[in-house]
Amino acid sequence: MLEITEVNPLREGLTSRTMPDPCAVVIFGATGDLTHRKLVPALYNLAADGALPPAVSVVGFARRDKTDEVFRKELEEAARKFSRQKISDDLWAVFASSIFYHRGEFDSLEGYQSLAKRLDELDAQRGARGNRLYYLSAGPDQFPIILENLRKRGLNKERQGSWARVIVEKPFGTDLPGAQKLNAMVQEAFSEKDTFRIDHYLGKETAQNIMVMRFANAIFEQLWNARYIDHVQITASEGLGVEGRAGYYDKSGAIRDMVQNHLLQLLCLTAMEPPAGLDANAVRDEKVKVLKTLRPIHGEDVHQHVVRAQYGAGTVNGKRVPAYRDEQNIGMGSTTETYVALHINVDNWRWAGVPFFVRVGKRLPKASTEIAIQFKAAPAVLFNVDGQTIDPNALVIRIQPDEGVALRMSSKMPGSSLRIEPVKMDFHYGTSFGKATPEAYERLLLDAMSGDATLFARRDEVEEAWKFVDAIRAEWEKSADDLALYAAGSWGPTEADELIKRFGATWRRL
């Protein structure tokens, strides 16, 4: 891999980045929404930033019959709509020349045989050196079929001087046994070092910055423990409903769709110990240690520490929306949770006695994801006069949509009287660095091409997360009597407010 030096004209100093090896990126399920909205726009933006070698080829593999030209035109229309950067006609023409379409059935070996032939032809034409990156953007039920056929045709094998890697989209299993079975199937075709289980939350700039903020700034790391922190809140709120994902979501629910992967990953980054290094295994070792120290929630404890709920009819952004059970393609009488709040204990030395509150919900007032570190209050001995209260300090890490970090502290208001009010020191990525932050898929695709698995989930991470979630779901499956309701457009059920209130806290309003 070639390392190049990049000069940012808006800031002093130099940064280095790694140029990945030339390769063919094969997208299985290339006619789907993910390819059009995320993957191809991400690859275009990487090309626009000079981060892709010219020899990279993008090969779409799908069932529908179409030509390269038709496929390119469809992707151009999508890229003009979803790309982070405005599409340049000249640059798109160059980029589009690297896009190809290959028709094949996922369950037919013939399509893989012809794919192997076409990839060899592209190698000869474009100099991709035999490197292959397979992206499984199909439905999860197709993963075993695709993996088995890649293995049968030998497309999974590293040839002399080349590599073969696979990116697996979520959901990675639907429970622990399913994840273990899928892991075993993947391992038959690809080694762990060549397997990249993608979680787009880890590709977000602020998620990547959590370790830098903690371990490169002594001011924070000294306070990052039970002595100074009262509690931690991790919130992912969505204004949307199921939006065309009813078939998947009604079988999954909020805890499997969001908590098992995205939110537990953010919890791990927040709670982990300093890694021995910045290599992938050192970082992921520490995340696994956090998952292993989560106090299990099972049996009757589920009703004490977890709230599940489903949205009813209500108003979101001034628009009347139906109840979840009235959404199109949702089963009558569905008990699928669209909201879940958890009280989680991390049973280790650093976090003993510090509650972690995690919540996620659909049809909430706004879309936002954040981590809030709530510090303990200062002693009320100097300013406890005239009924004055002082808000505790809080460090808020915004994951999306407006990525950045804010620190809440207390300050005296101007004037002759002593009046203390909270103020906020706010850092925004866009304004501080003079450019928009890359999309998560840009970083993750680049890392996979470079062989860097730091921001991808390892096998034991996935299985430990499922172990924690499965214990909760086992209790839920006994009865749905504890399923609460909340109005669409509200911040969730009153039961969730009562959950956090037991610890003398309240949910932040985003």
Question: Which residue segment(s) compose the domain that 209 sits in?
Answer: 202-501
Greatest CA span in the chain, whole angstroms? 83
Residue 245 has pLDDT above 80, yes or no: yes
Do 243 and 103 have their domain in common? no
Q: Would 178 be classed as within a structural domain?
A: no
Do 419 and 304 have their domain in common? yes
Kindly report, residue by residue over 201-231, the tens digit of the pLDDT: 888 877 888 888 889 888 898 999 999 999 9
Residue 249 has pLDDT above 60, yes or no: yes
Q: At 194, give phi and psi (nearest 5°).
A: -105, 10
Do 291 and 405 have their domain in common? yes
Strand order in the sheet with 99-103: 99-103, 57-62, 24-28, 132-136, 164-168, 195-197
Do 236 and 88 have their domain in common? no
Q: Would 188 be classed as within a structural domain?
A: no
Kindly report, residue by residue over 44-99, the tens digit of the pLDDT: 999 999 998 888 999 999 999 999 999 999 999 999 999 999 999 999 999 999 99
- Are 119 and 102 within 8 A, CB to CB? no
Measured torsion, CA atoms of residues 354, 355, 358, 359, in degrees rounded to the nearest 10:
-140
- Token representation of residue 412: 């005296």
Residue 432 is predicted with a pLDDT of 64
Query: Active-site residues: which are they?
Result: 262
Q: At 116, give phi and psi (nearest 5°).
A: -60, -40
Q: What is the mean pLDDT of the chain?
A: 89
Residue 16 is predicted with a pLDDT of 47
Q: Which helix (H) or strand (E) holds 472?
A: helix 459-476
Average pLDDT of the segment spanning 311-319: 93
Strand order in the sheet with 229-237: 420-428, 404-412, 394-400, 368-375, 229-237, 355-361, 339-345, 306-312, 484-487
pTM as predicted: 0.90
Q: Would 179 be classed as within a structural domain?
A: no
Q: At 139, give phi and psi (nearest 5°).
A: -65, 150
- Last residue of one domain, picked from the residues 169, 187, 220: 169
Measured torsion, CA atoms of residues 125, 126, 132, 137, in degrees rounded to the nearest 10:
-100
Do 106 and 222 have their domain in common? no
Residue 436 is predicted with a pLDDT of 64
Do 297 and 342 have their domain in common? yes
CATH number, domain containing residue 147 = 3.40.50.720
- Are 457 and 281 within 8 A, CB to CB? no
Q: CA–CA separation, 118 vs 114, rounded Å?
A: 6
Residue 169 is predicted with a pLDDT of 86
Do 129 and 206 have their domain in common? no
Between the CA of residue 422 and those of 239, 410, 481, 504, what are the distances in Å?
Answer: 28, 4, 41, 19
Euclidean distance between the first and the last CA atom of the chain, given in angstroms as a whole number: 43
Q: How many domains does the chain have?
A: 2
Residue 111 is predicted with a pLDDT of 93
Do 102 and 209 have their domain in common? no
Kindly report, residue by residue over 408-444, the tens digit of the pLDDT: 877 777 766 677 777 778 887 766 665 667 788 999 9
Least confident of 30-39, 105-114, 284-293, 431-440: 431-440
Do 398 and 330 have their domain in common? yes
Residue 31 has pLDDT above 80, yes or no: yes
Residue 67 is predicted with a pLDDT of 95
Tell me which residue has tokens 């300093």: 274
Residue 388 is predicted with a pLDDT of 66
